[in-house]
Structure 1
Amino acid sequence: MNIKSSWDTTPDMFKESQKHKCSSEGTSIDASEQIIEALEDKTAPLFNNNLLHGAMVNMMGGCPPEIRRSVIDNATQHGEADDNALYGLAVFDLYSENLCPIGAVFTNPIVNGFKDIVFGQGGLYFNRSKLEQLPLLVTDDIHLAFKTAYPIYAPYSDSKINVYTLKALMKAHPDLCVIAPLHQQDDIQRRYTDLDVKMAFIPEPPNLAMPQDELDNMIQVEISKANVAEWGKIIPLENTTTSKATLYPIQALPPLLQDAAQAIAEYVQAPIAMTAQCVIGAISHIAQSHVNAPHQFNTLGEPCSLFLLTEGQSGSRKSTSKGLADKAIMEHEREAYEQYKGAMQQWKAQQAGLPKADREAFLAENLPPTDPSTMFSDGTLEAIAGLLIDGTLRNASISSDEAGQFFGGHTMKGDTRTQALGSYTKLFDDGSIQRTRSKSNLNGSGRAYDVRLTFNLQGQHEVLSDALKDDVLREQGFLPRFILTVPENLAGTRLQCAEFEQKNANLDYRLIAYWERCRMLLDPCPMVLVDGQKVDQRRVIHLSDEACKINLAFYNDCEIEQAKGGKYEHIQPFASRASQLARRLATVFAFFQGESEISAQTMQGACDIIRHSLGEWLRYAEIESKKESDAQRLLNWLVKKCIDQCTDKIQYSTMQTSCPRPMSKNKQLLEATAQQLEDTNHIRIDALIKKRLVELNPILLGKVSKRLNDT
C-alpha cells in the first residue's frame, strides 16, 4: 500500500479546496496542495471506541504543523484553550461518488470532546491501491470500513449511502458490492430494491477482537456467494448431435385407452407419453391375471405382464396421472380389503374363548383370511416372493412414482442385486420364482409357478440416469425388458384459467368409460370360458394371420438394425426383445378390447410403441457413448487454465491462440462455441478498453479462488 509521508507535496485534494467552508465555524483551508492522505494501509490496529480519533493517533498528527496553524486560528473555539492542541490535528480526505477528493476532515485525537472540522463533503475511501485486485465494497458500517483490507467506500457521518450515491459509485467502478452485517439485510435490500447491484451480508458485524484476516475471509466467502448468484443457474450443455425425442405414438393405443390417456393429460396437464404409460400399466396389471401372450414354442403361451419405465422431473404430475389411471383398480382393492378386514375380525371372533384343543381344531380346519392387496408401491422382492411362494398372491404389480425407492433400495444394492435381477427376469419370462433358504429357515424356501408381476415405475432423471446406464442392469437383461419413455417437460406452459378450474375429471365421459371397462375386467371371470378352460386358467390370445405378418416384419427389421453400422448396433439387448414386448403389449390391448385374437391394427399399434421405446433407449446410449462436444472441450480447457494460473479470468486472445483444435484454427467456430458457453452461464466475456476477458463462473472452479493479496 502506498502511504504518503508528511513531506510528500503531491496534492491529494482538489486545487481550490480553500473555497469550501467549515460546516460549523466558517474556517477556510490554506495551502491545500500539501494536505496528505491520512489513513491508508494501517487499518488493522486502528479500532477503538472513538474510531476516527483512534485512527489518527497512529498517523502521527496527519499533516505538517504549518498547515495546522494556517487552517485554525484559535483552537479554544473547539473546546481546548491550549494552543498546543493544534499540533495534534490530523486530516483525512472526503471523496465524491466518482471517487475524486472533494473535501477534508480535521480532528484532534488527543483532546476529548474535540469537534471535527469538516471542509467540503463526501465519504471515506480506503485502500485504493488494491482496487485493481479486489472489488470495491460500499458500506454504511464505519467499523467495517476501518477494519478490512478491501478497498471500501463509507459515509463519514452517521448518514447512510443513498441510492443516488450508489448509482454514481456503480458507474465509477463496475466491480462493486454492497456489504453489510446480516441483521441489516432486509433494510439494505429494500433500500436498493430497484438497483441491479451485488449484495453480500456477513454473519456478524466486526468487533474489537476480530482479526483483520478473519473479517476479510468472512467477506470473501459472502462475495463469492453473491458472484455465483449473479451469474445465474448453469444450464447443462446439450448434446446437439443426439437424436431428439420422438413424439409418443398415442394413436397406437386402442380408442378407449387413447381417449383416457388424452383426458388425463388434459386435466392433469401432464405429457401424453406419461399418461399413456400409466393406462398401459393399469391394464397390464388387470390382463396378466386372465390371459397369456402367444409364444412360438409354447402352446400355453407366456406371461403378458409388462415392465414400464417413465422418466419425469419433479412436479411433472406423475402421481396425479397414475392416480387417475389406477382409480378403478384402487377402488376394487379398497373394497376387497374392507371385506378382508371383516372376515379377519369374524375369524378371530370365532376362535375367541375356545378351549385350547378346540382352538387347534378350528385353526386346522379354518385358515385365516389372506390380504387381497395386489398393487405395491414399495414392495421388496423378499416380501413379494414370500407371498407368491406361500400362495397368498398370484398376480402383483410394483407401481410407484418414486423409482428411486426401487433402484436405490436394499434389494438393488450390493450382494443381493444379482439374485434379485435373476428373480425378476425369471418372473417376467415364465412366471415362476424360487427361493432357497438355509436348513434353519426352511419355511422360507419354496417355488411358485404361474405367477405374474407387472412393473410400472416413474422417476426423475437424477434418479434414473445412473440406473439406465448401469452395465449390470443392461447386460443381465433386466432393463431391456422395460418399455421406456422420456416425455418432454411441460413446466412453464401449464397455464390455467377460470374455465379450466371448473372442469371435473370425474364427469368426463372418456374417463367414465375407461373406468367402467376396467371394473368389468376386474371381475374374477371377465371372459367367456372356452372348451376345457378352468375359471382360474389363463387363455392365450393368438395372433391373426395379418398380425403374424406384421410381427414377423417388425422382428426382421429390428434384427437387421442390430448389425454393425445399424441403428440398434449399440442397444442389441433391447432390440432383440422388441418383438416379444410387442406381442405382450398387443395381447394386453386385445384383452382390453375384448378381441378373440390379436388383430393387425392392434399388433401394428404395439409395434409402434415398442419402436418408440427403442428410440428412447437409443438416446441414452448416444448420450453415453458420444464424444466430448466442442463446448465441453473448450470449457474443460478454460477450467484447467484458470486453475493453473490461480485466476478466474483469462484474455480472449489467449483462448483464441491456445484453446483446443479445431477452435483455435477456426475463428467462427470459436465465437459460436464461446457464445454457447456464455448463453448457458458457464462463462462471460467482458470488454475492457481494447481487450476482451473471458471470466469463468466461480462455481466451476469448485470454490472461488482466493483473491485477496496475502502479501
Structure 2
Amino acid sequence: MNAKLPCDKTAIALVVSTDPVTGNTTEYHSIEDFAKGCIDEQNFKVKPESYIYSELPDYNCEECEALPLVNPDELTEVIGYGIRGTAKKYDTSQTPCKEIDSKKVSFSIGVAGVFASNTNNKYTPYVLGTDNIDLFVKLAKAGEAIVLHKDIDAAYQIINNGMPESIFRMMVGFNSSKHNQDLFVQVNESFKTLSTNQIKHFFTEKKQQIIKSIESDSFVQPQVEEMPADRKVEKLDTWQTPISLRNDTLIQSKPYPIDELPEIVRNAILAAAEYAQAPLAMAAQCVLASISFLAQGKVNAPRETNREGMPCSLFFLTEGGSGGRKSSCQKLVELPIREHERQQNDEYKKVLGDWNARSKTIESKEFAQWALDNPKPTDPTSIFSDITIETLTKFYIKGVVKNASLSSDEAGQFFDGHTMKGDTAKSALGAFTKLFDDGYCQRNRASSDDNGTAYDVRLTFNLLGQRAVLAGALNDPTLRGQGFLPRFILTAPESIAGQRTHTVEFRQKLKNSHNDPRLTKFWNRCRDILKDELPVLLNDSGEVPYFPVMQLSNEAELLDLEFYNECEILQGSGKQFEFMQPFASRANELARRLGTVLAYFENKSEIDSEIMQAACAVIRHSLSEWFRYSDIEVADESDSEKLIKYLLTKCKKEKTDRLQKTVAMKGAPLQIRKSKEFDPCLNELIEFNYVRLVTINRSTYIELNPALLK
C-alpha cells in the first residue's frame, strides 16, 4: 500500500469515532492512524465498529468500500480515503443489537486527491488507468498498480505524469478511449470473474502484444477487411496459429510423484488405481491418508522448536468429477481399517448389551456408585464421514475418541455443512487448526456438561469432492487466509472417464483383486499397525500417551534444509509463490509430517533421505496444484467456445470457410444471439486467431482460420 501523509497531532482530529454502546471515543489525527484503526487495506473495506461519518456519527460504516486517495503530483502518497456503501444504525439497548436504520453514504476522509492503489512500487512492470470504479476495485485487490478517473484519458495523463518512465502505461475499460488507443485494453463482463493469477497473466500478455505492435509499427485496431467477391482462400501461412481459449498450461495437472514413494505404498497405489479405475493421484491420496490415520496415534513428527515434536496427522483433499470412482478407491484402500472398525463395533454392541442387562439388576440407590465403578462402554467408531466439530470436540474431551479420521467422498457435506457456514465457521477453523498443530482441543460453553480440554488427540482428513462443489471453497479467502486450506495436501487430477473400458481378462482379474500381492502386502502392514498398542508413560496424574519422535537422518536433514530454502525463496517478489505464502511457508512442515508417516509405515527407525525425498516430491506436487487451482475454469464451456464450435460445424456442413455475420448471429447458441453477447465472443475469437471479418459486396462475413477446417 502507498505511504500515508501524516498530519499534525496537535491539530483538530481528522476523524472521531464514538462507540454507541460503551461511549468510548477514538480520535485519529493522521491518515496513517486512521487507516490502521479503521481500514482493512487488503480488502478495501471499513473495519467493524467504525463510526467515522461526521454527518451520521451514530451509524456504523462497517464493510463500506474504502478507496485510497493519493496526491496527484506524488502518486506514492496516500492523502485520504473515499468511503462509499451503506451505513447502519443499531438499537444498542438490546442484545444482540438490532438494526433500525440504514443510509447510503459517500464521503471522503482527509485531503481530496486521485483514486489510486499500489502506485508506490517503482519496480512494477506496468501501471493501469481506468474509468470504471468496479474495475478499479477488482484490480486493486489483485495487487495491480491502477489509477481511477471518470475520464479514462485523464487517468492516462495522471499516470503518464506521475509514474517513472521505466514503467509501462496502459488503459483498461469497457469503453474505448479517445486518445492513445494503441495503449487501450478493452475487457468485457467476463473479466470480472478472473482470478489474481489470471489477471496478472492477462496484462503481462497484453503488454507484450502492445510493445510488439508499437515496435513493428504495425499496430491497428481490428478492422473489417474488404475482399473481392471472387477472392480465393488465403494461404495457411497468412494466418497466425489459434490460441487456446483456455489456459491449458494452468489446467493441466502434473503427474503425482508415485515413483518416489516406497515400494509397498507405490504398488498399493498402482493396484488401487487399476481395480477402482481411478486416477493414480486419487489412489495415492487415499493410500497416504490411510497410513496417516494409522501413524498419527503412534508417533510424532520432528519439530526443531520442540523436542516432543508435533502430530504427524495430515489433511488430504482430492478433486474428482461425478463418477470419478472416489468411493470405490476409498473403500478398496481402507479395507483393513474398516474391518477393524466393524470388529470393534461388534464387540462394543455385545459389551453394551451386557452392561445394559446388568444395570437393570442394580438398585437405584446403588446405581450411581455402580456406574462409577463400571463405566458404560463407549462407541469405538473413529472414522467419520460426516461429523461437526462440536460433536468431535465433545468426543475428544470425554475420551470417547483419541485418534480420528474424517474420511468422505462427498466433500460438499463438509464445506457446505453447518460447521463451515455462518458464525460457526471461524471458531470451527480455529478448532481444526489447533487439532492439526498441537493435537489439542478445548470447549467452554455456558451451562454445558461437555466442557473441558483434551490433549494428545489426533485427526486426519481425507476429503474427495467434485470441482463444482470444491471450487468455491478452495478459492475462499477466509479458508485460505486463516491457514486452514494451506494445511491440506491437494491434488486435482484430470478425469479418466472414457478410458475405463473392460476386457474379459480384466473382469476375471477384478474378481481376484483381494488376492493381489500388491494390495495384500499393504493391507497386512495396516493390520499389524492396528494391533500395536500405543505406549504409555506414568506420571503423577496416571498413564499418559507416549509419542516417540521420528527423527531425520543426517542426509534427510540436508534435504529438509534445501526444501525449506527452496520454498522460502519462491515466496519472494515476482517468484512463483509470491501470492501463495501461507501455502509455501507450511510446505516444509507438511514434508516432515509425511516423511514421518512414510517412515513409520515402512517400519524404519528414522526418516532417511529416500523417504524425505519422496515426502518433498509429494508436497511440491500439492503446491503446484494450489498454484494452478485458482485459475481452473469451473464453467463447462465458455460462450466463445460454444460460438466457434457452432461456426465450425456450420461451415463444414455448408462446405465453406465463411458465414455472413447476420446469419451466424441468428443461428448461434441461444444465449449469445443478441449483439451485446455475440460481439464480445466474436471479438475474442478474432483476438485469438480463430476468425476474422471480411467485407464482400458490402456484406460482413465471418471467415474461419483454414487451420480449423483442416
State the TM-score, normalizing by the size of structure 1. Answer: 0.56
State the shift of 1:359 in Å. 2.5
Q: Which residue of 2 aligns with 1:577?
A: 586
State the shift of 1:244 in Å. 2.4
Secondary structure at 2:580's aligned position in 1?
helix
Answer yes or no: is the 8 Å Cα contact 2:535–2:545 preserved in 1: no
State the shift of 1:541 in Å. 0.3
State the shift of 1:342 in Å. 0.9
How far apart in 2 are the matches of 1:381 and 1:542?
Answer: 32
How far apart in 1 are the matches of 2:605 and 2:697?
Answer: 77
1:455 aligns with 2:444: no
Q: Which residue of 2 aligns with 1:92?
A: none
1:499 aligns with 2:505: yes
Secondary structure at 1:539's aligned position in 2?
coil
231, 247, 250: which one pairs with 1:242? 250
Gaps of 5+ in 2: 1-243, 648-660, 705-710
State the shift of 1:242 in Å. 2.3
Q: Deviations over 1:395-447 (max 9, x none)?
A: 10100000000000000000000000000000000011111101x22x12211
Sequence identity of aligned pairs in percent? 48
Answer yes or no: is the 8 Å Cα contact 2:456–2:545 preserved in 1: no
Secondary structure at 1:547's aligned position in 2?
helix
Q: Which residue of 2 aligns with 1:232?
A: none
Answer yes or no: is the 8 Å Cα contact 1:435–1:447 preserved in 2: yes
Q: Residues 261 and 301 of structure 1: is their aligned pair in 2 closer, same or farther, counting only changes over 3 Å?
A: same
Q: Which residue of 2 aligns with 1:335?
A: 343
Secondary structure at 2:489's aligned position in 1?
strand
How far apart in 2 are the matches of 1:674 and 1:301?
Answer: 64
State the shift of 1:252 in Å. 2.1
Q: Residues 447 and 674 of structure 1: is their aligned pair in 2 closer, same or farther, counting only changes over 3 Å?
A: farther
State the shift of 1:354 in Å. 2.5
State the shift of 1:571 in Å. 1.0
Q: Which residue of 2 aligns with 1:82?
A: none
State the shift of 1:609 in Å. 0.3
How far apart in 2 are the matches of 1:535 and 1:528?
Answer: 5
Q: Which residue of 2 aligns with 1:490?
A: 496
How far apart in 1 are the matches of 2:484 and 2:344?
Answer: 32
One-letter code of the match for 1:617? W
One-letter code of the match for 2:491? T
Which runs of structure 2 are paired with 1:226-375 in the superposition (5 Å)? 238-242=246-250, 244-375=252-383
1:672 aligns with 2:700: no
Q: Residues 350 and 689 of structure 1: is their aligned pair in 2 closer, same or farther, counting only changes over 3 Å?
A: farther
Q: Which residue of 1 aligns with 2:487?
A: 481
Q: Residues 252 and 527 of structure 1: is their aligned pair in 2 closer, same or farther, counting only changes over 3 Å?
A: farther
Answer yes or no: is the 8 Å Cα contact 1:634–1:659 preserved in 2: no
Q: Deviations over 1:444-500 (max 9, x none)?
A: 221111111110000000000000000000000000000000112100011111111
Q: Deviations over 1:502-537 (max 9, x none)?
A: 11211101111111100000123378999xx98841
Q: Deviations over 1:44-80 (max 9, x none)?
A: xxxxxxxxxxxxxxxxxxxxxxxxxxxxxxxxxxxxx
How far apart in 1 are the matches of 2:378 and 2:300?
Answer: 25
Answer yes or no: is the 8 Å Cα contact 2:321–2:495 preserved in 1: yes
Secondary structure at 2:630's aligned position in 1?
helix
Secondary structure at 2:531's aligned position in 1?
coil
State the shift of 1:251 in Å. 1.2
How far apart in 1 are the matches of 2:332 and 2:692?
Answer: 47
Which runs of structure 2 are paired with 1:680-695 in the superposition (5 Å)? 692=701
Q: Residues 361 and 240 of structure 1: is their aligned pair in 2 closer, same or farther, counting only changes over 3 Å?
A: closer
How far apart in 2 are the matches of 1:248 and 1:581?
Answer: 16
Answer yes or no: is the 8 Å Cα contact 1:469–1:624 preserved in 2: no
State the shift of 1:357 in Å. 2.0
State the shift of 1:355 in Å. 1.9
Answer yes or no: is the 8 Å Cα contact 1:293–1:540 preserved in 2: yes
One-letter code of the match for 1:395? N
One-letter code of the match for 1:498? V
Q: Deviations over 1:348-375 (max 9, x none)?
A: 1222232212323311211101111110
Which runs of structure 2 are paired with 1:427-446 in the superposition (5 Å)? 427-438=435-446, 440-441=447-448, 443-446=449-452
How far apart in 1 are the matches of 2:480 and 2:589?
Answer: 17
Answer yes or no: is the 8 Å Cα contact 1:305–1:454 preserved in 2: yes
One-letter code of the match for 1:473? L
Secondary structure at 2:362's aligned position in 1?
coil
Secondary structure at 2:579's aligned position in 1?
helix
One-letter code of the match for 1:474? R
Q: Which residue of 1 aligns with 2:562?
A: 553
Q: Deviations over 1:655-683 (max 9, x none)?
A: 9xx9679969x96x5641689xxxxxxxx
Q: Residues 269 and 660 of structure 1: is their aligned pair in 2 closer, same or farther, counting only changes over 3 Å?
A: closer
1:611 aligns with 2:620: yes
Which runs of structure 2 are paired with 1:339-418 in the superposition (5 Å)? 339-418=347-426
State the shift of 1:692 in Å. 3.7
Q: Which residue of 2 aligns with 1:464?
A: 470
Answer yes or no: is the 8 Å Cα contact 2:640–2:682 preserved in 1: no
How far apart in 1 are the matches of 2:703 and 2:285?
Answer: 46
How far apart in 2 are the matches of 1:469 and 1:555?
Answer: 25
Answer yes or no: is the 8 Å Cα contact 1:633–1:660 preserved in 2: no
How far apart in 2 are the matches of 1:432 and 1:535?
Answer: 14
Q: Residues 527 and 437 of structure 1: is their aligned pair in 2 closer, same or farther, counting only changes over 3 Å?
A: closer
One-letter code of the match for 1:572? Q
Answer yes or no: is the 8 Å Cα contact 2:412–2:470 preserved in 1: yes
How far apart in 1 are the matches of 2:408 and 2:263?
Answer: 26
Answer yes or no: is the 8 Å Cα contact 1:630–1:673 preserved in 2: no
Q: Residues 238 and 325 of structure 1: is their aligned pair in 2 closer, same or farther, counting only changes over 3 Å?
A: same
Which runs of structure 2 are paired with 1:116-127 in the superposition (5 Å)? none
